C-alpha cells in the first residue's frame, strides 16, 4: 500500500508538471452555434485532409451566445479564434469584446439557412402563411376588433383550408437562434397583417413592449418549446402524428422520407427559393474571426480562406449539398475581398 | 381439543383463551408488503429492459458497416500524371484517389465513364474516406502503383442505411437520399457478393467526422482513458490522505464538523458547477489549453473527490477498534498502526468507492461542455494536452446529427459506454468479494 501511494503521488506530480511545459497551440479552435456546427465540421474535416501540414480545427458546440462569450474572453492562445453564430453579433457583445481586448473582429457571412415547417410524411399538404402561424400560436389575437386570449384549438379554426387537427406546434425554445428568426419573420409579420399590432398599440404600450407582446407565444401547451435540437422535434412528430414541427432546411432534407414540408405563402422551401428570396423564412449564418490571431495561430488564415472558397460555399459545393443556401456570387466575392482587406467591425 | 376435555387438570387447559394478536392482519400486511416490493422491482426491471431493448435494437447494426469489394487499378496516369513522384512527395498525397475507385466501380457495373450524370450517382455509392484509405496504401508502398488491388471500400452512409433497411425505400425517390438507380446497383452488387456487411473496426479507431461512415469513437476512447487515468492518479491519493487524516488523526472539533458537512454537500452539487469552476480556475487563471483531457480530468477529479472521501471514511470506520488497540498495544506507532493494519483492511472498501466514483466520472458530460470538450475533434490526441472528447460527449453530439446513419451510431456508442461501465462495476464487485473481511 505504501509503495502504491508513493507511485500514485509521483504520477500525479508528473501530470501536474507537464502542464507547465504546455506547448503552443497548433490547431485552430472554433466555438459557437450548433446550427453552423455541421457546416463548420465539413469545412474543418476537408481542410485537415487537404492541408496535411495543418491539424484539423477543433469545432466546439454550445450555442451562438456561449460561443461569442468565449470568443470575447480576450486575446491569447487559450482563447478561441473563431465564433460561429446563427445571428449577427450584438452591440453589447461587441462592446464586451472590446473591453476584454478583442478590438478587431472580422465578420464573415457564409450563406443562408432556411427554416421550414413540416408534418409527418403521411399527413395532408399544408399551405401556411405568417398570419396562420400568428393566429394559431400567439398568446393574444384579435377577434371582432378586440384583443383576447387565443381561443383557437384546431388548425381549421385558424384557416379553413388547414386540416381538422388539434394545434400542437413544436417550436424552437428561447435559447435557440432559430427562435429569433421565427419571431421576427413569422410572428411579427403575422401580428401586423392580422391587425393585432394596432390593437396592442392602442393599449398604450411603448414600442419595445408592443413588439414583445406581438411575439408572445401562447402558454397553454399548444405551442411546445423544444430546447433540444431537431432530432427531438422529429421524435415528437413521430409520437404525435398530427403535430407540426419547425426544422432547419438541411435537417428536413436529410429526413424527407419521414417528414412532409409545408409551403409558406405558397412557396416550397428549397435552396433555390431561399437564395432568390421568394421563401420568406431564412436567415444569414456568420462566423467571427479574431484579427489578432491571424498569423499567430498556424492555419487560421488558411482555414478562413478555405471556408470562403467557392469549393466550400459556392453553388455546387459540399455545404450546399448538405443544406446551406449559397449567397449570391457578388456577396461571396465581397466577403472574400473584405477578409483579405482585413476589414474589421466598428 | 378432546384432550382438554378428558384432562382438565393438564397444564394446557390452564392456558387462557388465545388473545387476538392480529395474526391474520399481520400476515396480510406482510404479504402486501412483499407484493409492493415485487411491484417496485418489476417496474425497475421493466424500464431497464425497455432501455436495453431500445439501445441494443437500434445499436447492434452500428458494429457492422456495409463495404464494397473493388478491384482498383492504381493507374499511374491518374495518380501521377506528370511522373514526378520520385522528386515531389506531395504528388502521392494530393492525387485524385476517389476517381480510381469510381472507375473501378463503373467497370464492375458496366457503366461507361463518359456518362456524367451516372458517374455522379455512382460516386455516392462509396465513401469519400476512400481517399485516405488508398493514399495510405500507396504512400506505404509506392511500388503498388500500376498494379490492380482488391480493396474493401466503405460505402456511403446513405447506401449503408439503405442496405441495412433503415431507409424507407417505398416512398418516392425524390423524398429519400438514395435514388432508384443506386438501389438497383446496390442490389446487383449484393447479388454478386461484392457488397456485404463487415465488422466495423472504424467505429473504434476513427475520430469525429462529418461523414457518418468514417466517424468513430477513437478520439473519445483515448480522451476518456486519459481522463480516467488522471482522475485515478489525482483523486485516489488526495481522497485517501484526506480521509485518513480526518478519521484517524484529527481531533473532533467544530472545524472538522464543518469540513464534514461541506464534503457531503459537495458530493451533491450539480456537476455543471464543477465545469464552471474548471473554466474559471484552470483555463482562465492557470491558462491551460481548452478542450484538453488534462483539464477535463482535473474537473472530474474535483467532482469525484467527495465520493471517494465519503467511501474511504466509511471503509476506515468499518475496521474494528480492537485492531487499532492491538496494534498500539504491541508498540506500533500511530502511523504504523494506520498503514500496516487499518489501511490494508480498509483497501477493498476504498477501491470499490474509487471505482464507483470513476464510473460516475466516465458518464459525465455537463462539466466538459464549459471547458470546450463538447467539440468536433478529428485528430487523435497524443498527450493529455491535445484536444479530445469523451464517450458520453460523443453520444450527445451524435444524437444531435441530422443524418439517419448517426442514429445507430448513437446507440452503438451507448453500448460501448455501457460495456465500459459494466466492466468497471464488475471489477468493483470482484474486489469486494475477494478481499472483504467480515468481523
Report pLDDT digits (tens) over B298-347. 999 999 999 999 999 999 999 999 999 999 999 999 999 999 999 999 99
- Look at residue B110 and tell me if it is in a domain: yes
Separation of alpha carbons A343 and A333, rounded Å: 14
d(C-alpha B96, C-alpha A252), whole Å:
32
Which of A282, A302, A323 corresponds to the end of one domain?
A282
Is the domain of B182 the same as that of B280? Answer: no
**Statement to judge: residues B190 and B79 lie in one domain:** yes
pLDDT-based confidence at residue A8 (cuts at 50, 70, 90): low
Per the CB < 8 A criterion, the answer to whether A113 and A251 are in contact is no
What is the domain extent for residue B271? 218-435
Q: Cβ contacts of residue B439 below 8 Å, gap of 6+?
A: B320
pLDDT of B226 reads 95
Phi and psi dihedrals of B9, rounded to 5?
-85, -10
Spatial distance between the Cα atoms of B212 and A254, rounded to a whole number of angstroms:
13
B227 & B375 share domain: yes
Length of chain B: 439
User: B361 pLDDT exceeds 90?
Assistant: yes
Mean predicted lDDT score pLDDT of chain B: 89
Q: List the beta bridge partners of residue A138.
A: A217
pLDDT value for B337:
94
Max distance between CA atoms of chain A, in angstroms, equals: 85
- Residues 6+ positions from B20 with CB-CB distance below 8 Å: none
Q: Is the confidence at residue B5, as pLDDT, over 70?
A: no
Q: How confident is residue A20, by pLDDT bands cut at 50, 70 and 90?
A: very low
B-chain residues near A76 (CB < 8 A): 287
Other Cβ atoms within 10 Å of A1 Cβ, number: 13
Residue B89 has pLDDT above 70, yes or no: yes
In a domain? residue B373: yes
CA dihedral B173, B179, B183, B189 (to 10 degrees): 180
For residue A61, being part of any structural domain is answered with yes
Please check whether residues A275 and A181 belong to one and the same domain. Answer: yes
Q: Identify the band that residue A11 occupies on the pLDDT scale cut at 50, 70 and 90.
A: low
Residues A321 and A258 in one domain: no
Q: Are residues B393 and B245 in the same domain?
A: yes
User: Is A269 contained in some domain?
Assistant: yes
Q: Determine the pLDDT at residue A29.
A: 93
Q: How many domains does chain A have?
A: 2
Read off the C-alpha cell for A139.
Answer: 398568446
Do A135 and A258 lie in one domain? The reply is yes
pLDDT of B195 > 80? The answer is yes
pLDDT at A66 over 60: yes
A213: domain range? 114-282
Question: Is residue A7 situated within a structural domain?
Answer: no
- The set of cell numbers assigned to B141 is 508502398
What pLDDT band is residue B14 in, cutting at 50, 70 and 90?
A: low
* pLDDT greater than 60 at residue B355: yes
Q: Do A223 and A126 share a structural domain?
A: yes
- B317 within a domain of the structure (yes/no): yes
What pLDDT, on a 0 to 100 scale, did the predictor assign at position A22? 46
Q: Write out pLDDT tens, residues B129-184.
A: 888 888 888 888 888 888 898 999 999 999 999 999 888 888 888 888 888 999 99
Q: Which residues does chain A have within 8 Å of residue B210's beta carbon, measured at their own beta carbons? A: 38, 41-42, 45
Report the greatest alpha carbon distance in chain B: 125
Higher confidence at residue A8 or residue B247? B247
DSSP strand pairing (A223-226 vs A169-172) = parallel
B133's enclosing H/E stretch is: helix B130-140
Q: Is the same domain home to B180 and B239?
A: no
Q: Taking Cα atoms as reference points, which of A216, A207, A208 lies closest to residue A147?
A: A216
Per the structure block, which three cell numbers stand in for B178?
A: 438514395
- Of the residues A259, A282, A305, the one at which a domain ends: A282
Grid cell 433497411 is found at B165
User: Would residue B38 count as lying in a domain?
Assistant: no
Domain-located, residue B93: yes
Provide the pLDDT for residue B26: 92
Chain A contact present for B170, CB below 8 A: no
CA distance A143 to chain B (A): 40
pLDDT tens readout for residues B259-295: 999 999 999 899 999 999 999 999 888 988 889 999 9
| CA–CA gap between residue B259 and residue B256 (Å, rounded) | 5
Same domain? For A218 and A304 the reply is no
Quote the CA–CA distance of B307 and B2 in Å, as a whole number: 67
* Residue at A5 is within a domain: no
Which pLDDT score, from 0 to 100, does residue B154 have? Answer: 93
Residue B382 parent element (H or E): none
Q: With respect to residue A17, please indicate whether it lies within any of the assigned structural domains.
A: no
Contact A60 B384 (CB under 8 A): no
Rounded to the nearest integer, the mean pLDDT of chain A is 85
* Residue-level pLDDT at B59: 92
Considering the domain architecture, whether residues A261 and A239 belong to the same structural domain is answered as: yes
C-alpha cell at A342: 482585413
Interchain contact, B402 vs A25, CB within 8 Å: no
Same-domain pairing of A229 and A303: no
Kindly list the distances between the CA atom of residue B70 and the CA atoms of A294, B108, B194, in Å, as whole numbers in the listed order: 44, 8, 8
Predicted TM-score (pTM) above 0.90: no
Q: Which of B131, B284, B402 sits opposite A255 (nearest CB)?
A: B402
Residue A228: pLDDT over 70: yes
Q: For the domain that residue B257 is a member of, what is the CATH number?
A: 1.10.3720.10
Per-residue model confidence (pLDDT) at position A4? 55
Q: Do A58 and B372 touch (CB under 8 A)?
A: yes
Domain with residue A147: its CATH number is 3.40.190.10
- Show which of B164, B199, B234 is a domain's final residue: B199
Say if the Cβ atoms of B339 and A1 lie within 8 Å.
yes
Q: Report if residue A131 sits inside a domain.
A: yes
DSSP SS3 for B45 = helix
Out of A89-103, B78-92, B323-337, pick the least confident. B78-92
A-B CB pairs within 8 A amount to: 133
pLDDT digits (tens, 9 = 90+) for B17-32: 777 788 889 999 999 9
Question: If you search the block for the grid coordinates 453579433, which residue do you land on?
Answer: A89
Domain-located, residue A37: yes
Which residue did the predictor score with more confidence, B3 or B100? B100
Compute the distance between CA of residue A216 and CA of residue A186 in angstroms, rounded to an integer. Answer: 12
User: For B376-386, what is each residue's pLDDT tens digit?
Assistant: 999 999 999 99
Return the pLDDT at A278.
87
Lowest mean per-residue pLDDT among A9-13, A121-125, A225-229, B188-192: A9-13
Rg (CA), chain A: 24
User: Is the same domain home to B110 and B255?
Assistant: no
Residues 333-372 of B with CB under 8 A from A: 339, 343-344, 347, 369, 372
Q: What DSSP string runs through B76-110? A: HHHH-TT--TTT-THHHHHS-HHHHHHHHHHHHHT
Verify that A136 and A252 share a domain, yes or no. Answer: yes
Residue A249 CB burial class (10 angstroms; 0-12, 13-18, ≥19): buried
Looking at the structure, tell me whether residues B151 and B226 fall in a common domain.
no
B234 closest CB neighbour out of A12, A121, A230: A12
Where is B434: in which H helix or E strand? helix B405-435
- Secondary structure percentages of chain A, helix, strand, coil, to 5: 45, 20, 35
Asked if A37 lies within 8 A of B376 by C-beta distance, the reply is yes
* Residue A154 sits in the same domain as residue A254: yes
Task: Give the pLDDT band of residue A23 (cuts 50, 70, 90).
Answer: low
Those residues whose C-beta lies under 8 Å from the C-beta of residue A57, and which sit 6 or more positions away, are A27, A28, A29, A30, A40, A44, A47, A48, A299, A303
Residue B58 lies in a domain: no
pLDDT for A3: 59
Same domain, A119 and A144: yes
* pLDDT at res. A21: 43
Cell numbers found for residue A234: 422529429
Residue B84 and residue B152 share a domain: yes
Of B176, B288, B339, the CB nearest to A256: B176
Chain B residue numbers touching A245 (CB-CB < 8 A): none
| Most A-contacting residue of B372, B394, B408 (CB-CB within 10 A), to test interface | B372
In the predicted structure, residue A12 carries a pLDDT above the cut 60? no
The verdict on residue B45 lying in a domain is: no
- Based on the structure, what is the number of domains in chain B? 2
ipTM for the predicted complex: 0.79
Same domain, B252 and B376: yes
- Put simply, the answer to whether A231 touches B402 (Cβ < 8 Å) is yes
CB atoms within 10 A of CB B304: 27
Distance CA B130, CA B113 (A): 19
Read off the pLDDT band of B87 (50, 70, 90): confident
pLDDT at residue A54 tops 70: yes
My answer on whether B124 and B246 are in the same domain is no
Indicate whether A195 and A124 sit together in one domain: yes
Query: Quick one: three-class SS letters along B219-262?
Result: HHHHHHHHHHHHHHHHHHHHHHHHHHHHHHHCCCCHHHHHHHHH
With DSSP H G I counted as helix, E B as strand and the rest as coil, what are the percentages for chain B, rounded to 5?
65, 5, 25
Residue B49 lies in a domain: no
Q: What is the pLDDT of residue A57?
A: 94
Q: Residue B439: what pLDDT? A: 63
The residue out of A233, A250, A282 marking a domain boundary is A282
Is the pLDDT higher at B56 or at A7? B56
Domain annotation covers residue A3: no
A228 and A131 in a common domain: yes
Q: Pick the closest to residue A317 from A84, A34, A43 (CA basis).
A: A43
Phi/psi for A104 (5° steps) reads -105, 105
Q: How far apart (Å, rounded) are the C-alpha atoms in residues B293 and B384?
A: 5
Of A23, A38, A58, the CB nearest to B402: A38
Answer yes or no: is pLDDT of B1 > 50: no
Nearest CB neighbour to B210, from listed A8, A45, A257? A45
pLDDT at A290 over 90: yes
Amino acid at each position: 500500500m505504501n509503495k502504491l501511494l508513493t507511485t500514485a503521488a509521483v504520477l500525479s506530480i508528473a501530470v501536474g508538471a507537464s502542464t507547465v511545459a504546455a506547448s503552443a497551440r497548433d490547431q485552430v479552435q472554433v466555438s459557437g452555434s450548433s446550427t453552423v456546427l455541421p457546416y463548420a465540421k465539413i469545412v474543418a474535416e476537408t481542410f485537415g485532409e487537404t492541408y496535411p501540414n495543418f491539424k484539423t480545427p477543433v469545432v466546439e458546440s454550445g450555442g451562438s451566445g456561449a460561443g461569442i462569450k468565449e470568443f470575447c474572453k480576450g486575446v491569447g492562445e487559450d482563447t478561441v479564434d473563431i465564433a460561429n453564430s446563427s445571428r449577427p453579433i450584438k452591440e453589447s457583445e461587441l462592446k464586451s469584446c472590446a473591453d476584454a481586448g478583442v478590438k478587431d473582429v472580422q465578420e464573415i457571412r457564409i450563406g443562408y439557412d432556411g427554416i421550414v415547417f413540416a408534418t409527418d410524411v403521411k399527413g395532408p399538404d399544408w399551405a401556411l402563411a405568417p398570419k396562420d402561424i400568428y393566429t394559431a400560436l400567439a398568446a393574444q389575437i384579435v377577434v371582432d376588433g378586440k384583443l383576447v386570449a387565443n381561443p383557437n384549438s384546431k388548425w381549421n379554426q385558424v384557416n379553413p383550408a388547414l386540416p381538422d387537427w388539434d394545434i400542437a406546434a413544436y417550436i424552437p425554445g428561447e435559447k435557440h437562434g432559430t427562435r429569433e428568426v421565427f419571431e421576427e419573420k413569422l410572428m411579427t409579420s403575422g401580428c401586423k397583417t392580422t391587425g393585432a399590432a394596432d390593437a396592442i398599440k392602442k393599449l398604450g404600450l411603448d414600442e419595445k413592449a408592443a413588439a414583445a407582446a406581438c411575439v408572445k407565444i401562447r402558454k397553454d401547451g399548444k405551442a411546445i418549446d423544444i430546447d433540444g435540437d431537431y432530432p427531438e422535434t422529429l421524435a415528437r412528430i413521430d409520437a404525435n402524428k398530427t403535430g407540426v414541427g419547425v426544422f432547419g432546411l438541411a435537417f428536413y432534407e436529410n429526413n424527407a422520407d419521414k417528414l412532409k414540408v409545408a409551403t409558406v405563402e405558397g412557396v416550397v422551401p428549397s435552396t433555390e427559393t431561399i437564395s432568390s428570396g421568394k421563401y420568406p423564412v431564412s436567415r444569414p449564418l456568420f462566423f467571427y474571426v479574431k484579427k489578432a490571431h491571424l498569423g499567430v495561430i498556424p492555419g487560421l488564415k488558411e482555414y478562413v480562406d478555405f471556408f470562403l472558397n467557392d469549393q466550400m460555399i459556392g453553388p455546387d459545393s459540399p455545404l450546399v449539398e448538405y443544406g446551406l443556401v449559397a449567397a449570391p456570387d457578388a456577396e461571396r466575392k465581397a466577403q472574400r475581398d473584405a477578409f483579405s482587406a482585413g476589414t474589421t467591425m466598428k | 381439543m378432546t384432550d382438554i376435555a378428558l384432562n382438565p387438570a393438564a397444564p394446557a387447559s390452564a392456558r387462557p383463551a388465545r388473545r387476538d394478536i392480529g395474526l391474520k392482519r399481520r400476515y396480510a400486511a406482510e404479504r402486501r408488503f412483499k407484493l409492493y416490493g415485487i411491484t417496485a422491482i418489476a417496474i425497475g426491471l421493466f424500464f431497464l429492459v425497455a432501455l436495453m431493448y431500445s439501445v441494443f435494437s437500434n445499436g447492434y447494426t452500428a458494429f457492422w458497416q456495409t463495404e464494397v469489394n473493388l478491384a482498383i487499378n492504381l493507374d499511374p496516369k491518374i495518380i501521377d500524371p506528370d511522373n514526378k513522384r520520385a522528386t515531389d512527395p506531395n504528388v502521392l498525397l494530393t492525387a485524385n484517389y476517389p476517381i480510381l475507385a469510381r472507375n473501378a466501380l463503373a467497370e464492375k457495373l458496366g457503366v461507361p465513364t463518359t456518362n456524367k450524370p451516372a458517374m455522379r450517382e455512382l460516386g455516392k455509392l462509396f465513401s469519400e474516406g476512400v481517399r485516405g484509405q488508398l493514399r495510405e496504401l500507396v504512400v506505404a508502398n509506392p511500388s503498388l502503383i500500376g498494379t490492380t488491388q482488391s480493396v474493401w471500400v466503405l460505402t456511403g452512409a446513405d447506401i449503408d442505411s439503405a442496405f441495412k433497411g433503415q431507409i424507407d425505400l417505398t416512398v418516392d425517390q425524390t423524398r429519400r437520399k438514395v435514388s432508384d438507380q443506386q438501389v438497383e446497383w446496390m442490389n446487383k452488387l449484393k447479388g454478386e457478393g461484392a457488397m456485404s456487411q463487415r465488422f466495423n473496426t472504424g467505429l473504434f479507431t476513427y475520430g469525429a467526422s462529418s461523414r457518418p461512415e468514417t466517424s468513430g469513437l477513437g478520439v473519445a476512447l483515448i480522451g476518456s482513458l486519459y481522463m480516467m487515468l488522471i482522475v485515478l492518479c489525482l483523486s485516489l491519493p488526495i481522497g485517501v490522505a484526506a480521509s485518513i487524516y480526518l478519521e484517524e488523526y484529527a481531533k473532533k472539533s467544530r472545524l472538522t464538523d464543518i469540513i464534514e458537512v461541506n464534503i457531503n454537500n459537495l458530493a451533491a452539487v450539480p456537476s455543471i458547477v464543477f465545469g464552471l469552476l474548471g473554466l474559471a480556475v484552470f483555463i482562465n487563471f492557470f491558462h491551460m489549453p481548452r478542450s484538453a483531457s488534462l483539464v477535463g480530468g482535473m474537473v472530474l477529479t474535483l467532482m469525484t473527490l467527495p465520493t471517494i472521501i465519503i467511501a474511504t471514511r466509511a471503509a476506515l470506520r468499518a475496521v474494528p477498534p480492537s485492531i487499532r488497540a492491538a496494534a498500539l498495544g504491541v508498540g506500533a506507532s500511530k502511523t504504523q498502526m494506520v498503514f500496516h493494519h487499518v489501511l490494508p483492511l480498509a483497501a477493498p472498501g476504498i477501491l470499490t468507492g474509487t471505482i464507483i466514483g470513476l464510473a460516475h466520472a466516465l458518464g459525465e458530460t455537463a462539466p466538459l461542455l464549459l471547458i470546450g470538450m463538447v467539440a468536433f475533434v478529428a485528430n487523435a490526441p497524443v498527450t493529455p494536452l491535445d484536444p479530445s472528447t469523451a464517450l458520453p460527449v460523443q453520444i450527445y453530439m451524435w444524437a444531435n446529427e441530422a443524418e439517419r446513419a448517426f442514429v445507430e451510431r448513437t446507440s452503438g456508442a451507448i453500448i460501448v459506454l455501457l460495456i465500459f461501465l459494466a466492466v468497471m462495476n464488475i471489477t468493483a464487485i470482484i474486489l469486494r468479494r475477494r478481499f472483504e473481511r467480515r468481523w
